[in-house]
Amino acid sequence: MPPRLDHRVLVLNRLWQPVNIVGVLRAMNLLFRGRASVVHSDESGHRVFSAAEWVTHSLASPPPEAQAIRSPCIVLRMPRVLLLGAYDRVPRREIRFSRRNVYLRDGHQCQYCGRGFREEELNLDHVVPRDVGGKTSWENIVTACVRCNSRKANRLPEQAGMTLRRPPTKPKWRLVVASSLAPEELDSWKEFLEVAPVGQVPWRT
């Protein structure tokens, strides 16, 4: 059975900071070329495996079918997280400004009443109206429900007697990623997508 091509792997730099998400074939290439190791998490913490160690671990603890990568001679457990051996930078990633990404940044919650809604029940609102120079930007656009958007109309929030839940800002790449993950990805990646204190590496030998 070929590997699941929809399986995604989170890639960390050597400082344990998230830098990319790759498909399973690219992940296997990084692992078996010696450019990355597998980070395996369980109740006791995180363990780091080389390619050879990962093969041994997979043989000793056969994966369920949904988590298996099969070749003619071996069955491997699909990794969830890779740790690069030499790369220590964080690529600059620009999050595309779009309606969907604004909704993801705001957690599909109206930034005036705080309630959550489906996408079809939401609008984008210019905090500072365009008529008075407000820009269409991350720092001036928020998610609003239809009712709050209508109430605010073409006014500043204070003119409408309304308060923003939080000021709009440009989102970080990892926050948008975390908002769009499948449940099993979120469970495996959530702690790596959070900011780790400098100097603290969450692993054990």
Condensed to tens digits (0 to 9), the pLDDT of residues 53-90 reads: 999 999 888 888 777 888 777 888 889 899 999 987 87
Please answer whether residues 31 and 51 qualify as being in contact, where contact means their C-beta atoms are separated by less than 8 angstroms: yes
Condensed to tens digits (0 to 9), the pLDDT of residues 39-55 reads: 998 878 889 999 999 99
Residue 73: both structure tokens together? 């001679």
Residue 114: both structure tokens together? 């705080």
Helix (H, G, I), strand (E, B) or coil at 147: helix
- The arrangement of secondary structure in 99-152, i.e. its CATH architecture, is Orthogonal Bundle (1.10)
Pairing state between β 68-70 and 75-77? antiparallel
Partnered with residue 47 across adjacent β-strands are 40
Nearest of 128, 85, 121 to residue 103 by alpha carbon: 121
Question: Where are the CATH 1.10.30.50 domain residues in the chain?
Answer: 99-152
> Residue 172 corresponds to which amino acid?
K
Q: What pLDDT, on the 0 to 100 scale, is given for residue 133?
A: 96
DSSP for residue 177: H
Condensed to tens digits (0 to 9), the pLDDT of residues 152-196 reads: 999 999 999 999 999 999 987 766 666 666 667 767 787 787 633
Q: What pLDDT, on the 0 to 100 scale, is given for residue 149?
A: 97
Name the residue with higher pLDDT: 107 or 125: 125
Q: What is the maximal distance between C-alpha atoms in the chain?
A: 70
Instruction: Using pLDDT thresholds of 50, 70 and 90, give the confidence band for residue 205.
Output: very low
User: Distance between CA 25 and CA 8 in Å, rounded?
Assistant: 9
For residue 201, is pLDDT > 80?
no
Q: What pLDDT, on the 0 to 100 scale, is given for residue 116?
A: 95
Tokens 């007697």 locate to: 161
Q: 133 — alpha (psi -120 to 50), left (phi > 0) or beta?
A: left
- Alpha-carbon separation of residue 183 from 46, 130, 157, 194 (angstroms): 20, 38, 36, 16
